[in-house]
Amino acid sequence: MAAIDTPIKSLLEGFKDRVAPLQPSVVVIAAGFELRHLATCPEWDRGNICKHFLATLEGMVQATWELGALPVVGAPYPHAGFGEEQAKLLWQTRDALLQWGVPVLDWLDPLSAPGRSGTW
C-alpha cells in the first residue's frame, strides 16, 4: 500500500478506500519512514515529528478497527544518522506504541546497535 516517500498523512487519507475492498482480517501497519526526518530536522521540530507520526498511526489503527480487522503495528526502526536525542525519541515512540493494546512488531531492539543508540 505504501509508496516510497509518500507522506504518512496521505496514507491515512486513502486508507479505507484502499484497504476496505480487500476485507482483511488483519492489517499490518508499518510506516516508520516519517521518523527518518529526525536525523536531519531542526532540534525544535523532533518532538512534533514523533507526535504527528503517532497521531497519524493511531488514526490508521482506529480505521482498521472500524473495518472489523485486527491492526498490527510495526515499531520504528533504527537509522544510521540518529544521535543520542533522536534515539531517545525513537525509543519513546516505540514505548508509546506498546501501550496501545494492539500487537506490535518490535524490531527496534533486534535491529539496533548495542546501547540503545537508535542506529543500525
CA distance 61 to 81: 28
6 CB contacts (<8 Å, ≥6 apart)? none
List of the chain residues with pLDDT < 70? 1-9, 32-33, 116
Which amino acid is residue 34, in one-letter code?
Answer: E
pLDDT for the residue 23:
94
Pairwise CA distance, residues 108 & 55, whole Å: 20
CA-based torsion, 75, 77, 19, 59: positive or negative:
positive
pLDDT for the residue 22: 93
Per-domain boundaries in the chain: 47-120
Report the distance separating Cα 103 and Cα 31, nearest Å: 15
8 Å CB contact between 93 and 60: no
Q: What is the pTM of this model?
A: 0.82
Per-residue pLDDT tens for 16-37?
888 999 999 999 998 766 787 7
**Rounded CA separation 90/76 (Å):** 7
